[in-house]
A and B are shown apart, each in its own frame.
Chain A
Amino acid sequence: MKSAFIALCALVLLTSGCSRKSKQPAPLHATATGAAIVESSGGKQIGYAGMPLDQQVVVQVSDASGSGVAGAAVYFSGPSGVSFAPAAALTDSSGQVTTAVSLGQQAGRYKLTASTRDAAGKNVAVQIDEIALGYQQTVGAQLNAQFCVRCHDPESTPLRVSNMDNLSVKPHSFTEGDTLNKMSDADLVAIISHGGPALNKSPEMPPWGYTLSKNDMAALVSYIRAVADPPYQASGLIYARN
């Protein structure tokens, strides 16, 4: 009897030590339903692994006629490591929900989903793509900002005027996956280090091999791969055994 009591005590102690408080979000009480959900802003950002995105993600729920629906429940989800604040919310008067997104620890592409239910209880969802840069890509991003963007980015700002239009041969923007994905890493490194003539291209691309280190160039290539649109698929071994 006594031992049973001790065992019981031990069990209670053990389980209490093991238990973890889990926080359940308060359930949402949707007052309305929409027919469609679209991304308003915040997609296709280039963020950093493990970090919050600069801009918040905004999605809008609309009815069949396309006007915003207030009070519809929107749920956000993503791969493990991604966090949303809030992860679920009701749409505001204009039919929108805004959430702050933190990407997971792994560099790469993140496919986030925002979903709501329509009147029939069916799930409608929209996919939002984001990019997380890891250490190497971050180095590449910084080098890009220092040496490359002036010519390779068509966008002009008052602080950084784009030089693209002044060139007789237009450089490729680094997001041009259609073209750049076809080039191997070795080709990219060759053109960065020896300039355009290395691949029979324009000398307006100067050689950077005497200015940047090997690691710098590898970092630039990893950045170019990270931001390519459509995404870059590394060629390599095929793993499926069957």
Chain B
Amino acid sequence: MKNRLASLWRFFFGDSARAFGSASAILLVLLAVAPAKNHFSQWRHYQKQYLRFIRGRADAVTLERHFQPGIQQIWIPEQQVTDRCTTCHLGLKENSLADVSAVGFRKHPVIPHSLTEFGCTTCHRGQGAATTVQEAHSATEQWEQPLLPAKYIESGCGQCHLENQTGTPFLNQGRQLISRYGCTHCHTIKQPDGTNVLPDDDPPSLKHIGDKTTREWIYAWIKDPQAYAGTATMPNYHFSDDDARDISAFITAQSTPLEPPIQPVKADAKATADAAAGTTLYGQSFCASCHAMQNAAGMLVGGDVGPELTGIGTKAKPEWLQDWIANPNHYDPGTMMPHYRFDAQQVATLAGFLESKTEPDFLANLHLDPATPQQIEHGKRLALENGCASCHEINGIKKPENFAPELSRIGSKPVNQLIFVEGVEHTLPDYIGAKVRNPRAFGPSLKMPQFKFTPQQVDAVTTALLALTERAQTQPPKMRISAVQQAKYQPAGHAGQLMRDLRCLTCHMINGHGGDMAPDLTWEGTAVQRDWLIQFLKNPETLRPALIRRMPKFNLTEPEINTLTDYMMTVYQTPEFDRDSLPVTDLTPAQVEQGRQLFYSKFACQSCHIADYSKDKGYIGPGLAGTGKRFNAAWVYHWLKDPQALRPGTIEPNQHMTDDEARSLTAFLMSLKSTGSKEVMKK
């Protein structure tokens, strides 16, 4: 063995010539390593595979012409994009490869952007400059920027698009949840365009909470808000019995009586409360447009604007309920609830009905001893530590600044700065998801409370948070598309006060401010006739039979109605055209007849609208049987010409009518003077 090695040595390095030759050979081999490595590299392998793949197809010639060998790169310096993904992902732009099963060679799904304009890593993350599968995708924990799982992909859009978009339902939902559940009461989220994400829940002030409810209810509520109402916004802080006792003691102790005080319930008022009348009044007042309540079958029915009322009788004191229904502004001047002008009888009926809605188990076996000063003191300390005043107004505690970490760049947080717990994958999305799902799993002393989100909601919130990246903050401002901010518009003068009292803007949008539950009233003065508006405010009729939500009756007085009507008819006029530009007297009977033909044949308006209650059945758009009494002819004409111009987002299609057609249809519609819903009742 040893001899053989020695002879080998002599053969290669025996004398200087042999040694020189062998050394040269070794050097050559070493020199060949680099080109060989290049030749056998992974991306070359994929390119060869791709060529083999496309050569088997009928469109091989086209595909081969498009193919470019070598390392490909998308380089966009101002967006910090250096992406070599297209070196291996070769079919991204090939329409004919849409249904290929291999991810690498498949066409990119249709998106509104060109791939070369934004690169790949902007949305997908990963290491753009890498040229091996492992380094580029880096699904392992050693890498800072792994590929983003597909379910969070909409976060990529959210870096530039700060507004809601049609194609990103989960991002929209996540953002809506962040506002709806008031995350930004504690966490600041500064968007790239400089605006802050604002909460749109409306946590109640606790300054007079003692007038509204009992200490026992507060205790049970803070122990588990969802036990009282499944839809409750307030998260669960997992307080111990003693802590809940002390906080309820403090919250009750800090409460001061309202000024002027709430009147006690009159003895006879309660007796008049009868259940059937209460149910009817609750329905007639369309309380369910905003408030949900469980029906007999246990189904939750109603809106999400106000709190759920299933157990309101357990929560609210009877005298508070009466006071609130009579005029909510007394207890909370900032409430979204309108001031219905109920008479004493109606107040008693409705209050009686609501008092009967109880959650008997909620306060069962609950007994709290009178609070000691130490308990109140401890309760205050807990309220301070848990940031109660971030959301609620509390006497004696100021709203804390930056109570929780800022989340403006949470989507780029380096993984090595995160502390993971057992069972959570070491990636940023998994960390955020786990934190949103169950914050206390990260340590019992953490303050973040437990929200009740479904797994799908957790993913949506995670998607919205992942959109808050470093890249979003630092990219050129021209790339940002800001959301439309709510205007600060408030109606002015006496009518303005009245409209604030009635909270018109809770449901209606006017000049870019308000809710989206009811039609935009910005140009209502141009659209309708004065007499109709007066009648409608007096007694709102059903305009859209397909909707559950309706305008409630507020029991307005004659002078109030006149003030509102005058204001709306004067101020809410469109500048686009003159409301008197098409006098009804100009419209001829021949036009009416022609309009009828167009209505029923060419445009088939009866598919969605009812012009004649005896034969039309269309159920989507508003009933038109009373158009001649309700609308202004010029408005009808311009609406028919281009509905979206007058009310963006309306579902009525633009039918591209000629002027003559629109005029004839207007003539026909203005000839309809039935009183709408009453006819239905007669049938």
The answer to whether B150 and A105 touch across the interface, beta carbons within 8 angstroms, is yes
CB-defined contacts of A218 to chain B, threshold 8 Å: 110
The answer to whether B607 and A207 touch across the interface, beta carbons within 8 angstroms, is no
Instruction: Output the least CB separation between B292 and chain A (Å).
Output: 13
Segment from B166-174, B226-234, B263-271, B383-391 that makes contact with A: B166-174
CB-defined contacts of A190 to chain B, threshold 8 Å: none
The answer to whether B617 and A166 touch across the interface, beta carbons within 8 angstroms, is yes
Among B56, B455, B620, point to the contact of A150 (Cβ < 8 A). B620
CB-defined contacts of B106 to chain A, threshold 8 Å: 106
Q: Identify which of residues 605-659 in chain B touch chain A, using a CB-to-CB cut-off of 8 Å.
A: 607-608, 617-620, 644, 651, 653-656
The answer to whether B654 and A211 touch across the interface, beta carbons within 8 angstroms, is yes
User: Does A20 touch B at the CB level, under 8 Å?
Assistant: yes
The answer to whether B59 and A142 touch across the interface, beta carbons within 8 angstroms, is no
Max chain A CB contacts within 10 Å: which of B57, B644, B653? B653
Q: How far is the CA of A102 from the CA of B456 in the complex (A)?
A: 11
Instruction: Output the least CB separation between A204 and chain B (Å).
Output: 4
Instruction: Output the least CB separation between A238 and chain B (Å).
Output: 6
Among A163, A207, A211, point to the contact of B619 (Cβ < 8 A). A163
The answer to whether A134 and B109 touch across the interface, beta carbons within 8 angstroms, is yes
Could you tell me the dominant secondary structure of chain B's interface residues?
loop
Check A237/B59 contact, CB under 8 A, given A135-B109, A146-B651, A150-B620: yes
CB-defined contacts of B603 to chain A, threshold 8 Å: 203, 206
CB-defined contacts of A151 to chain B, threshold 8 Å: 607, 620
Among A134, A150, A237, point to the contact of B96 (Cβ < 8 A). A237
CB-defined contacts of B601 to chain A, threshold 8 Å: 203
The answer to whether B58 and A239 touch across the interface, beta carbons within 8 angstroms, is yes
Q: How far is the CA of A139 from the CA of B149 in the complex (A)?
A: 20
CB-defined contacts of B101 to chain A, threshold 8 Å: 79, 106
CB-defined contacts of B18 to chain A, threshold 8 Å: none
CB-defined contacts of A79 to chain B, threshold 8 Å: 101
CB-defined contacts of A51 to chain B, threshold 8 Å: 150-151, 170, 459
Instruction: Output the least CB separation between A97 and chain B (Å).
Output: 19
The answer to whether B110 and A135 touch across the interface, beta carbons within 8 angstroms, is yes
Q: Which interface class (under 10, 10 to 19, 20 to 34, 35 or more) fits A?
A: 35 or more
The answer to whether B109 and A52 touch across the interface, beta carbons within 8 angstroms, is no
Q: How far is the CA of A100 from the CA of B57 in the complex (A)?
A: 38
The answer to whether B169 and A138 touch across the interface, beta carbons within 8 angstroms, is yes
Q: How far is the CA of A203 from the CA of B608 in the complex (A)?
A: 12
The answer to whether B656 and A52 touch across the interface, beta carbons within 8 angstroms, is no
The answer to whether A52 and B110 touch across the interface, beta carbons within 8 angstroms, is no
Max chain A CB contacts within 10 Å: which of B103, B167, B455, B548? B167
Instruction: Output the least CB separation between A16 and chain B (Å).
Output: 13
The answer to whether B58 and A54 touch across the interface, beta carbons within 8 angstroms, is no
CB-defined contacts of B602 to chain A, threshold 8 Å: 203
Could you tell me the dominant secondary structure of chain A's interface residues?
loop
Check A50/B150 contact, CB under 8 A, given A207-B655, A211-B654: yes
Check A20/B140 contact, CB under 8 A, given A52-B459, A166-B619, A237-B96: yes
Instruction: Output the least CB separation between A197 and chain B (Å).
Output: 8
The answer to whether B109 and A136 touch across the interface, beta carbons within 8 angstroms, is yes
Q: Which interface class (under 10, 10 to 19, 20 to 34, 35 or more) fits B?
A: 35 or more
Q: Identify which of residues 85-133 in chain B touch chain A, using a CB-to-CB cut-off of 8 Å.
A: 96, 99, 101, 103, 106, 109-112
Q: Identify which of residues 83-110 in chain A touch chain B, using a CB-to-CB cut-off of 8 Å.
A: 100, 102, 104-108
User: Does B29 touch A at the CB level, under 8 Å?
Assistant: no
Q: How far is the CA of A167 from the CA of B619 in the complex (A)?
A: 10
CB-defined contacts of A207 to chain B, threshold 8 Å: 653, 655-656
CB-defined contacts of A100 to chain B, threshold 8 Å: 455
User: Does A210 touch B at the CB level, under 8 Å?
Assistant: yes
User: Does A159 touch B at the CB level, under 8 Å?
Assistant: yes
Instruction: Output the least CB separation between B456 and chain A (Å).
Output: 7
The answer to whether A142 and B617 touch across the interface, beta carbons within 8 angstroms, is no
The answer to whether A204 and B604 touch across the interface, beta carbons within 8 angstroms, is yes
Q: Identify which of residues 211-236 in chain A touch chain B, using a CB-to-CB cut-off of 8 Å.
A: 211, 215, 218, 222, 234, 236
The answer to whether A136 and B151 touch across the interface, beta carbons within 8 angstroms, is no
Max chain A CB contacts within 10 Å: which of B56, B101, B150, B546? B150
Instruction: Output the least CB separation between B628 and chain A (Å).
Output: 23
The answer to whether B59 and A147 touch across the interface, beta carbons within 8 angstroms, is no
Instruction: Output the least CB separation between B665 and chain A (Å).
Output: 14
Q: How far is the CA of A209 from the CA of B655 in the complex (A)?
A: 8
User: Does B153 touch A at the CB level, under 8 Å?
Assistant: yes
Interface string of B146-181 (1 = CB under 8 A from A): 000111010000000000001111100000000000
Among A139, A167, A238, point to the contact of B58 (Cβ < 8 A). A238
Closest to A50 in B: B150
User: Does A158 touch B at the CB level, under 8 Å?
Assistant: yes
Instruction: Output the least CB separation between A173 and chain B (Å).
Output: 16
Q: How far is the CA of A105 from the CA of B59 in the complex (A)?
A: 26
Q: How far is the CA of A203 from the CA of B106 in the complex (A)?
A: 40
Q: Identify which of residues 166-186 in chain A touch chain B, using a CB-to-CB cut-off of 8 Å.
A: 166-167
The answer to whether B654 and A143 touch across the interface, beta carbons within 8 angstroms, is no
Check A52/B456 contact, CB under 8 A, given A134-B109, A206-B603, A207-B656: yes
CB-defined contacts of A158 to chain B, threshold 8 Å: 548
The answer to whether B103 and A105 touch across the interface, beta carbons within 8 angstroms, is yes
Q: How far is the CA of A160 from the CA of B455 in the complex (A)?
A: 26
Interface string of A111-150 (1 = CB under 8 A from B): 0000000000000000000000011101100110011001
User: Does A49 touch B at the CB level, under 8 Å?
Assistant: yes
User: Does A202 touch B at the CB level, under 8 Å?
Assistant: yes
Q: Identify which of residues 571-612 in chain B touch chain A, using a CB-to-CB cut-off of 8 Å.
A: 601-604, 607-608
The answer to whether A241 and B58 touch across the interface, beta carbons within 8 angstroms, is yes
Closest to B149 in A: A50
User: Does A208 touch B at the CB level, under 8 Å?
Assistant: yes
Check A241/B57 contact, CB under 8 A, given A206-B653, A207-B653: yes
List 30 A–B pairs whose Cβ atoms lie within 8 Å, in order of A's numbering: A48-B151, A48-B170, A49-B150, A51-B151, A52-B459, A100-B455, A106-B106, A107-B109, A108-B99, A135-B111, A136-B111, A136-B167, A138-B169, A142-B169, A146-B651, A147-B653, A166-B607, A202-B604, A204-B607, A206-B603, A206-B655, A207-B653, A210-B655, A210-B656, A211-B644, A215-B112, A218-B110, A222-B110, A237-B57, A239-B57
Give me 4 other A-B pairs in contact (C-beta within 8 A), A79-B101, A158-B548, A209-B656 excluded. Answer: A142-B169, A163-B618, A222-B110, A237-B59
A interface with B by C-beta (< 8 Å): 20, 48-52, 54, 79, 100, 102, 104-108, 134-136, 138-139, 142-143, 146-147, 150-151, 158-161, 163, 165-167, 202-204, 206-211, 215, 218, 222, 234, 236-239, 241
Please list the 3 inter-chain residue pairs (A to B) with the smallest Cβ-Cβ separation, ordered nearest first. Answer: A50-B150, A166-B617, A210-B654
